[in-house]
Amino acid sequence: MTLFDRRDLIRSAALGLPLMMAGGRAFAAPGAANNRLLVVFLRGAYDAANIIVPGGSDFYHEARPTIGLPRPDPANPDAPLALDADWALHPALRESILPLWQARQIAFVPFAGTDDMSRSHFETQDSIELGQNIGGQRNFQSGFMGRLAAVLGADKPISFTDQLPLCFRGGPVVPNIALGNAGSRPSIDARQTELIKAMYRGQHEAGVDLEAAIGQGFAVRDTVFQSIRGEMEAAGRGAITAKGFELSARRIGRLMRDQYNLAFVDVGGWDTHVNQGGAQGNLANRIGELGRALAGFVEAIGPEDWRNTTVVVMSEFGRTFRENGDKGTDHGHGSIYWVLGGSVAGGRMAGPQIKLTPDTLNQGRDLPVLTDYRGLIGGLLARQYGLSARQLGIVFPGAAISDLQLL
Amino acid sequence: MPLLIGAVPAQAGEKEATLAGINRATWGLAEWPIGAPSADRALPPAAQARIDEMRISREGMPQLVMEMDAQNRAANQTPDPTQRQAAKKDWQQAMNALEREAQTRSLLRDLYSPDQMREQMTWFWFNQFNVHGKKRDIRAMVGDYEDVIRARSLGRFRDLLEATLRHPAMLRYLDNDQNAAGHINENYAREIMELHTMGVGSDYSQKDVQELARILTGVGVRLRPDAPRMKPEWQRLYLRNGLFEFNPARHDFGTKHFMGHTIHGSGYAEVEQALDLIADNPATARRLSTRIATYFMGDRPPASVIERMTAAWRQSGGDITTVLNAMTATPAYAASLGHAFKDPVHYVVSAVRYAYGPGRDGHVVTNLDPMINWLKRMGEGLYDHQTPDGYPLGASAWTGPGQMEVRFEIAKAIGNGSAGLLRPRDPAMAYQPSAPDLRNALWSGGMDRATTDQTRAVLNQAASPQEWNMLFLASPDFMRR
């Protein structure tokens, strides 16, 4: 069976259409056609400064006597990999992310984040997902990806999470599925599915159209089951097996190639107050897995569709620039965002930067924010989808858009 | 003060309204009629016997943790690599078994305890003071931690707050066991104010977080039975209770400026002072009243209810039963009955209570593993939330398409009896899976009149009793309480 045959099979099964349907994209919105966006949220505020390392800064080495990475040195396997004169990449990303940098398909945006100064994980995650002005009245039923889905019209959103995240509220009904434990054969048959749908006709809960949600749930269940069954067959023929987020990311790649074009996934466990390690250790293991996951995603989506795909990797805030008393880091402010994609103008550190000294730290403690995440993502959306100023104003109301020329 | 189970709306039919009230005050209606909740009525003997035989029941928590620590150290010191690996695996399995015991006990109490309000509030407070079982050695502590919360779940909030602060599970989870003078770790200090009590955006600053972290230096965990050696003048300030210790040698005795007050260095008394200030802050009363109301009444409880509860909190000095009674006495509470969307824990426990709860032909669930796994699959596993914010209370977190679909799969597994909830613990014993009889049990209890015409029309199309069960447990009526 060719690739295209299988795609049609999956799509037809999901839509309940006959298999004779011709190939071609099902995406209808002009702006969204062939364009894909995946947002990866690292929950817990990852320590960006030890991943994309300001290795040229003496102050970095003073501030992190035990967890700091050594200076870039090709002869030292524990040393970060020089990206330019000022910045270097964590060695755990050598095989997965460095090739994307060399291919100019990834850019890092340092000093990025929000103007939320609460330093609370949960408050700041909410701020970011809602994408509304800080200090104003918050509408918890409206997230920026939900509004983006509404602006893009008939695109295909999905959330690869066990709960529907805040960011996807307020637009069309967005299906959600946790891929890690998905894949068992559904037990509810077609007749029972119809009976259940009949019970939910006209039902709403907390502003959610339950009837629509349930219809989406059944459809996604079938799509994902078909896709994972194909993966199991491939694995049986000796294809790569992965686990954890790496497995999920490959599945996301295949599902986005075949079926969905606007997606969100989150990865937890980045809150490193104690013994976070340096070149090796807890954080290094996590970042290594993230790198392999993203490389797996690129491979699974395939070269053709990677050209039209953008991935944004973000986190709620950065951490204290100085290490704390427990060889870890506490809650800070500015972070480093990643933008990768087949058409990304990468291989560079994008956006405004300053030299890191004790005087330039925010409140003497952490990285300042020089690029607002709304301006950053808004500028990216403007280029990727050709959104007008009016449309950007819907997705990120009141935000100043900064065009970092990332596409 | 006795707990009330809630007012009955005058305009509704009395029986349906009372049913709805009981459904709210319990983890899900199972027997009719039900007496007022009382602590002196016991679990069914089969459930109690299951709890009594557990290792977490037979051994005290400090002893258990020290034994497990010794086993872990012995495993690490095994010279032969193969034997070491096997010993490490044994240790992991023993730790997992301890957590599994605590999960099983928790669900048995939810299903069968007559003191249902206490069990609901135990879940609520555990979630409020969340710890994650998988971090470090918390698996060996988490059953005791839940018990400590359970004993205080209807009492004074200030006692509950300090009990969590003095528990090694919390001190491990939020790293305060590593917080010492000159080596400040802010993690726990921040979350006490942000998550456990006042809430972000209330009356504290980053400076207050840093000062509370200094106040909390020296509050930690000690596994060894003996006290650490220290200067004689510090010995009278040293505190020890089980695994909890306050070690003055690790404490910052400098003067702190915390929430507008000057706190002089005095040792653990500083912690008491700080907790008084935090617990008495009006933001704590308001925020926790709001969270309790959301837990019972669903999203966006009316401001009038929050006002009543906050006033009751302030007047009673944070007595949780008084606050609950203030909530159930409001007309808005009565009006909300049957309109709160169940979270996964409520959904699973209430479904199993309908099928195999008290008064159901003497059946007691013998195999809790399917329930434990369902909760994990729906993203609300017991002791499984990684971050200290706890699981979301609002319905909107649990109505996603993926969530609902999993509920229907669970409805089918319970409805047709294939879930294995009654499988004997001895695999040699014969066992014939059979479906529960939900229809007769519910109809005789008067639930037919509490079901909408739309649902009843579908139920009438059920092709078998098993399918009827599945459709009922999948219905929108059953998703709400």
Q: Give the pair of three-digit tokens for residue A115.
A: 């103007």
Q: Quick check: A220 and B402 CB within 8 A?
A: yes
* Predicted pLDDT at A7: 38
Residue in chain A lying closest to B381 (CA): A162
pLDDT in tens, chain B (481 residues): 556 555 444 444 666 667 788 888 888 876 654 445 554 468 888 999 999 999 999 999 999 999 999 999 999 999 999 999 999 999 999 999 999 999 999 999 999 998 899 999 999 999 999 999 999 999 999 999 999 999 999 999 999 999 999 999 999 999 999 999 999 999 999 999 999 999 999 989 999 999 999 999 999 999 998 889 999 999 999 999 999 999 999 999 999 999 999 999 999 999 999 999 999 999 999 999 999 999 999 988 999 999 999 999 999 999 999 999 999 999 999 999 989 999 999 999 999 998 998 876 678 899 999 999 999 999 999 999 999 999 999 888 899 898 999 999 999 999 999 999 999 888 888 888 889 988 886 665 666 667 899 999 999 999 999 999 999 999 999 999 9
Q: Are A196 and B471 in contact (CB < 8 Å)? A: yes
pLDDT in tens, B339-370: 999 999 999 999 999 899 887 667 889 999 99
Smallest CA–CA distance, residue A345 to chain B, in Å, is: 36
What pLDDT, on the 0 to 100 scale, is given for residue A21? 30
Q: What is the pLDDT of residue B41?
A: 62
Please say if the pLDDT value at position A138 is more than 90.
no
> Rounded to a whole number, what is the distance in Å from the CA of A173 to chain B's nearest CA?
8
Residue type at position B282: P
Question: Which tens digit of pLDDT belongs to each residue from A363-398?
Answer: 999 999 999 999 999 999 999 999 999 999 999 999
Chain B, nearest residue to A268 by Cα: B386
Residues A164, B399: C-beta atoms closer than 8 Å: yes
Cβ–Cβ of B184/A159 closer than 8 Å?
no
Sign of the Cα torsion B412, B414, B415, B417 reads positive
How many angstroms away from the CA of B27 is the closest CA of chain A?
20
Question: How many angstroms separate the CA of residue A153 from the nearest CA in chain B?
Answer: 20
- C-alpha distance from A185 to closest chain B C-alpha (Å): 10
Q: What are phi and psi of B407, to 5 degrees?
A: -60, -40
* C-alpha closest to that of A131 among A98, A104, A169, A163: A169
- Cβ–Cβ gap A43/B387 under 8 Å: yes
Nearest C-alpha in B relative to A140: B396
- Order of all β-strands in the sheet with B219-221: B219-221, B244-246, B239-241
Are A157 and A145 a contacting pair, CB within 8 Å? Answer: yes
Grouping H, G, I as helix, E, B as strand and the rest as coil, residue B290 is: helix
From chain B, pick out residues whose CB is under 8 angstroms from the CB of A221.
405
- Please judge whether B402 and A330 are an interchain contact, meaning their C-beta atoms are less than 8 angstroms apart: no
Write the CA distances from A252 to A37, A58, A150, integer angstroms.
Answer: 12, 40, 22
3-state secondary structure B116-150: HHHHHHHHHHHHHCCCCCCCCCHHHCHHHHHHHHH
| Residue contact B412–A187, C-beta within 8 A | yes
Which residue(s) pair with B262 in the sheet? Answer: B257
Q: Residue A195 is nearest to which of B186, B413, B471, comparing CB atoms?
A: B471
- What pLDDT was estimated at residue B372? 98
pLDDT tens, A28-60?
A: 334 456 899 999 999 999 999 999 999 889 999
Beta-carbon separation of B401 and A200 below 8 A: no
Q: In what order do the strands lie in the sheet with A88-89?
A: A52-53, A88-89, A81-82
Contacts of B371 (CB under 8 A, 6+ apart): B107, B348, B349, B352, B365, B421
Q: What is the pLDDT of residue B42?
A: 83
Q: pLDDT band at A12, cuts 50/70/90?
A: very low
pLDDT tens readout for residues A146-176 = 999 999 996 899 999 988 899 999 888 899 9
B471·A119 Cβ contact <8 A: no
The C-alpha of B221 sits at a distance from chain A's nearest C-alpha, in angstroms, of 16
Cβ contact (<8 Å) for B476 and A200?
yes
Cβ(B25)–Cβ(B116) below 8 Å: yes
d(CA B273, CA B277): 6
A299 and A26 Cβ atoms separated by less than 8 Å: no
Residue B10 confidence (pLDDT): 41
Angle CA B221–A273–B127, to nearest 5: 70
Distance from CA of A24 to the nearest CA of B (A): 27
CA distance A268 to B290: 27
pLDDT attached to residue B9: 43
User: Cβ of A199 and B471 within 8 Å?
Assistant: yes
How far apart, in whole angstroms, are the C-alpha atoms of residue A144 and residue B327?
A: 35
- Residue B233 neighbours by CB distance under 10 Å: 8
- Segment A208-216 long-range contacts (CB within 8 Å, at least 24 positions apart): A208/A173, A208/B396, A208/B399, A209/A173, A210/B399, A210/B404, A210/B476, A212/A173, A213/A173, A213/A175, A213/B399, A213/B400, A213/B401, A213/B404, A214/B401, A214/B404, A214/B405, A215/B401, A216/A173, A216/A174, A216/A175, A216/B401
Count other Cβ atoms within 10 Å, centred on residue A266. Answer: 21
- Which of B185, B400, B412 is facing A164, going by the closest CB pair? B400
Q: How many CB atoms lie within 10 A of CB B159?
A: 14
Determine which of A47, A141, A187 to mutate to test the interface with B (most B C-beta atoms within 10 Å).
A187
Q: How far is CA A287 from the centre of its chain?
A: 14
Query: CA-to-CA distance for A319 and A329, rounded, in angstroms?
Result: 6
Identify the pLDDT of residue A243: 76
The answer to whether A253 and A297 have CB atoms below 8 angstroms apart is yes
Is the pLDDT at A77 greater than 50, yes or no? yes
Q: How many beta-carbon pairs under 8 angstroms link A with B?
A: 163
Candidates B203, B408, B466, B471: best to mutate against A (most CBs of A within 10 A) is: B408
B313-318 contact pairs (CB < 8 A, 24+): B313/B157, B313/B285, B313/B288, B313/B289, B314/B282, B314/B285, B317/B156, B317/B158, B318/B156, B318/B157, B318/B158, B318/B279, B318/B284, B318/B285
Mean residue pLDDT across chain A: 89
The contacts of residue B407 (CB under 8 Å, 6+ apart) are B344, B347, B378, B474, B479
- Write out chain B residues lying below 8 Å of A331, CB-based: 186, 190
Which residues in A lie closer than 8 A to residue B181 (C-beta atoms)?
Answer: none
pTM: 0.89
- Picking from B386, B404, B461, the nearest residue to A195 by CB comes out as B461
Q: Are B96 and B134 in contact (CB under 8 A)?
A: no
The answer to whether the CB atoms of A163 and B475 lie below 8 A apart is no
Question: pLDDT exceeding 70 applies to what percent of chain A?
Answer: 89
Kindly report the nearest CA distance between residue A307 and chain B, in angstroms.
Answer: 30
Judged against a pLDDT cut of 50, whether residue A231 lies above it is answered with yes
| Cβ <8 Å between A122 and B389 | yes
What whole-number distance in Å separates Cα of residue B243 and Cα of residue A352? Answer: 50
Tell me what ipTM this predicted complex has: 0.91
Q: Quick one: average pLDDT of A302-331?
A: 96
Q: CA quadruple B70, B75, B76, B77: dihedral positive or negative?
A: positive
Instruction: Residue A403: count other Cβ atoms within 10 Å of its Cβ.
Output: 13
Nearest to B187 among A207, A273, A363 (CB): A273
Contact B403 A176 (CB under 8 A): yes
Task: Categorize the per-residue pLDDT at A16 as very low, low, confident or very high, splitting at 50, 70 and 90.
Answer: very low
Name the closest residue on chain A to residue B209, using Cα atoms: A119
**Interface probe, candidates A272, A326, A329, chain B, greatest B C-beta count within 10 A:** A326
Q: Which residue of A has its CA nearest to B453?
A: A199
The contacts of residue A267 (CB under 8 Å, 6+ apart) are A40, A41, A42, A43, A245, A290, A293
Residues in chain A closer than 8 A to B400 (CB atoms): 159, 163-164, 174-176, 213, 217
* C-alpha–C-alpha distance, residues B481 and B473, integer Å: 13
Q: How far apart are CA A132 and CA A139, in angstroms?
A: 8
Per-residue pLDDT at A25 exceeds 50 = no
In this complex, the residue of A186, A205, A214 whose CB is nearest that of residue B401 is A214
Map chain A to HEC letters: CCHHHHHHHHHHHHHCCCCCCCCCCCCCCCCCCCCEEEEEEECCCCCHHHCEECCCCHHHHHHCCCCCCCCCCCCCCCCCEECCCCCEECHHHCCCCHHHHHCCCEEEEEEEECCCCCCCHHHHHHHHHHCCCCCCCCCCCCCHHHHHHHHHCCCCEEECCCCCCHHHCCCCCCCECCHHHCCCCCCCCHHHHHHHHHHCCCCEECCEEHHHHHHHHHHHHHHHHHHHHHHHHHHHCCCCCCCHHHHHHHHHHHHHHHCCCEEEEEECCCCCCCCCCCCCCHHHHHHHHHHHHHHHHHHHHHHHHHCCEEEEEEECCCEECCCCCCCCCCECCCEEEEEEECCCCCCEECCCCCCCCCCCCECCCECCCCEEHHHHHHHHHHHHHCCCHHHHHHHCCCCCCCCCCCC
pLDDT score at B25:
86
Kindly report the nearest CA distance between residue B122 and chain A, in angstroms. 23
* Chain A residue closest in CA terms to B201: A118
Cβ–Cβ gap B396/A162 under 8 Å: no
Distance in angstroms (rounded) separating the CA atoms of residues A22 and A5: 10
Q: Would you say residue A22 has pLDDT above 50?
A: no
Q: From CA B438, how far away is CA B436, in angstroms rounded?
A: 6
The mean of the pLDDT values for chain B is 92
Q: How confident is the model at residue A178 (pLDDT cuts 50, 70, 90)?
A: confident
The length of chain A is: 407
Closest CA to A347 of A146, A102, A17, A160: A102
CA distance B346 to chain A (A): 16
**Minimal CA–CA distance to B256: which of B246, B266, B242?**
B266
Count of CA atoms in the C-beta half-sphere (13 A) of B180:
13
